[in-house]
Chain A
Amino acid sequence: AQSVTQLDSQVPVFEEAPVELRCNYSSSVSVYLFWYVQYPNQGLQLLLKYLSGSTLVKGINGFEAEFNKSQTSFHLRKPSVHISDTAEYFCAVSELAGGTSYGKLTFGQGTILTVHP
C-alpha cells in the first residue's frame, strides 16, 4: 500500500516569487510519481510525472520536480509564479506497471497555491 503526504495545505506567495510545494510518500514497492493541478471548478490536469531516469523532471507551465529516493520526496518547484498559477496541486503515486494495483492513484491531500499581486 502507498500513502502520500503533502506537507502544506495552503501556500500563499507573491507574484514572481519562487515556490516549492512539498510531497512525501511511503510505499513498500517502487512507484511512479505525479503532480496534478486543479483550477477552480475544473478537473485534474497532469503537470509532470516521474517514471524513471533523471530525477529532475520538467513539466508544463514552467514547473519542475525532483525525485529523491532516499528521502522519499517529490517536491514541486517553480522559480517565478504568476497569478494564473493559483490552483490546487495534488501529488500522487501509483505502483509500477505490471503490478497488481492496476494503475490506481493514491493522492495527497492537496496544496492550495494562492498567488498574490
Chain B
Amino acid sequence: NAGVTQTPKFRVLKTGQSMTLLCAQDMNHEYMYWYRQDPGMGLRLIHYSVGEGTTAKGEVPDGYNVSRLKKQNFLLGLESAAPSQTSVYFCASRRDKSNQPQHFGDGTRLSIL
C-alpha cells in the first residue's frame, strides 16, 4: 500500500551540482505533478504530466526539467543547482481528469549550499 513514494528523502547539494528526484506511484494514475513548498508561500506547481511521455510547465518551471518515460515514474531534474532551489519538493498523482483528489508523497527536503 505504498501510494506515492519519493526518493531521496533528504539531500544536500553544492551550487552547480546536478541531481534527479524520483517519484513513483503504484496506483496506475495518469496525472502526476511536482510542487515545491517554501515557507509562507504554500505549494507551487513546477511541472506536471498528463500521461506517459507527456510533460508540461507549471507555475515555477525555470531551472527544472522533468521526464515521464514510464507511467508510474515522474522524474524531476536540477541541472545546475542554485541556493534559490533550496526547498521541500512534493510529488503528487491523480487518477485522471475526474474530480478525484491528488495523492501526495512525503516530500524531499533539498538544501543547496
* Interface set of A (CB-CB < 8 Å, partner B): 4, 6, 9, 32, 34, 36, 41-46, 49, 51, 90, 92, 96-98, 102-105, 107-110
Given contacts A90-B42, A107-B44, contact A43 B101 (CB under 8 A): no
Q: How many A-B residue pairs have CB under 8 A?
A: 60
A108–B58 CA distance with the chains assembled, in angstroms: 16
A57 to chain B, nearest CB (A): 12
Residue in A43, A46, A103 whose CB lies within 8 Å of B31: A103
B32-67 at interface with A (beta carbon < 8 Å): 33, 35, 40-45, 48, 50, 56, 58
Instruction: Give me 21 A-to-B residue pairs in the complex whose CB atoms sit less than 8 angstroms apart, sorted by A's number.
Output: A34-B101, A41-B107, A42-B107, A43-B4, A44-B43, A44-B90, A92-B43, A96-B99, A97-B97, A97-B98, A102-B31, A103-B94, A104-B48, A104-B58, A105-B33, A105-B43, A105-B92, A107-B42, A108-B42, A109-B42, A110-B40
Given contacts A9-B40, A97-B97, contact A105 B45 (CB under 8 A): yes
